[in-house]
Structure 1
Amino acid sequence: WVLTEPEYAELSAQACRKAIGNYSESIIAKKYTEVYNKITGKYA
């Protein structure tokens, strides 16, 4: 249904923003650092 949705361009733009906001290298690196610090008890 997405490909035939009249708002396809907006849906696509929102999907890109969400992907970048949740899965960019800097976000993933921060999440890994948080997990590492939590596991090791270090809070830098």
Structure 2
Amino acid sequence: NPARIKGWMCECGMKLEFDGDFAKCKVCGKEYKMMDEKKVRRER
């Protein structure tokens, strides 16, 4: 069985909580955008 994505983590190690297509790490403040269901890009 192939691996399945359960969630996304920030570079600092905290789990990201997405609101729509965007997430902001509650610890370090880095921002992320969901590009599609398998790809996330750091915005800042």
Question: What's the TM-score bracket when you normalise by the shorter of the two chains?
Answer: under 0.3
Structure-1-length-normalised TM-score:
0.22
Higher helix fraction: Structure 1 or Structure 2?
Answer: 1
Higher strand fraction: Structure 1 or Structure 2?
Answer: 2
Question: Which has the higher Rg, Structure 1 or Structure 2?
Answer: 1
Structure-2-length-normalised TM-score:
0.22
Q: Which has the higher contact order (CA 8 A, sep 6+)?
A: 2
